[in-house]
Amino acid sequence: MKPIHKLIEGSQRFKSKEFKKNKRVFKRLATEGQEPKILFIGCSDSRVVPNLITDTGPGDLFVVRNIGNFVAPYKPDEDFHSTAAAIEYAVNVLEVEDIIVCAHSNCGAIAALYYDPKKFEKKEIPHVKRWLDLGQDARDFVEQWGGTMSEEEKLGMTEEISVLFQLENLMTYPTIEQRVNEGKLSLHAWHYDIKSGEIATYDEEIEDFVVLNG
């Protein structure tokens, strides 16, 4: 069976089962619109499904997914900025109260930061190469302070440190900085472990990640 056929069959099961079971919810969302209070910024990785790992339903999360769960710093121009546009809408229009940036284990984007550049020489991925620059600060930090850590430990640490840099980038958005300072918006750094299902969150008091769902 081709992958697209699997999706078609899945959509049929959804309509006959899940949609039917939650018909009132979908009707309300269709007529009243969405009012999610959480913006979830995650990786495009197919193994990380925001609503699945948080056990949330339709209308609960406003989701942005991109390679590496990166956030580019605020840039006040009129160019095309997909992630920035979604953030802007979530904060300025939906007025979300929390923003989660969620990294994950075995992240290909983070691993790519350590690849030999020659690995990508023959790949037609100029936008990917440029996008990965948003992870360089995290890699440089780990390279400086990682010491004798194993490759696996370095990758894990880079995944976590990168999320903190993304939160710093979020704070370059004027409205986000304003709402955070007013106590109307909170930022959260998460790391999801694919193998164990554990989600860790950064605790500012101890300056480390602690298990959130243990």
**What pLDDT does 121 receive?**
74
HSE, CB side, 13 Å, CA atoms: give it for residue 67: 16
Q: b/e map of 57-68 (b: 16 or more CB within 10 Å)?
A: eeebbbbbbbbb
Beta strands in 33-157 (DSSP E): 38-43, 61-66, 98-104
Q: Which amino acid is at 171?
A: M
CB 68 within 8 A of CB 43: yes
CA separation, residue 176 to residues 85, 129, 171, 191 (Å): 13, 28, 6, 22
Q: At what angle do helices 136-145 and 151-170 cross, to 10 degrees?
A: 130
Domains and CATH numbers, the chain: 1-33 (no CATH), 36-211 (3.40.1050.10)
Q: Please, which pLDDT band fits residue 94 given cuts at 50, 70 and 90?
A: very high
What are the pLDDT digits (tens) for 100-142? 999 999 999 999 999 877 777 778 999 999 999 999 999 999 9
Give the integer Cα–Cα distance in Å for 177 and 5.
Answer: 46
Q: Strands 186-192 and 199-203: what pairing?
A: antiparallel
Closest C-alpha among 146, 144, 169, 170 to residue 157: 146
Q: Please, which pLDDT band fits residue 148 given cuts at 50, 70 and 90?
A: confident
Give the integer Cα–Cα distance in Å for 94 and 172.
Answer: 19
For residue 31, pLDDT beyond 80: yes
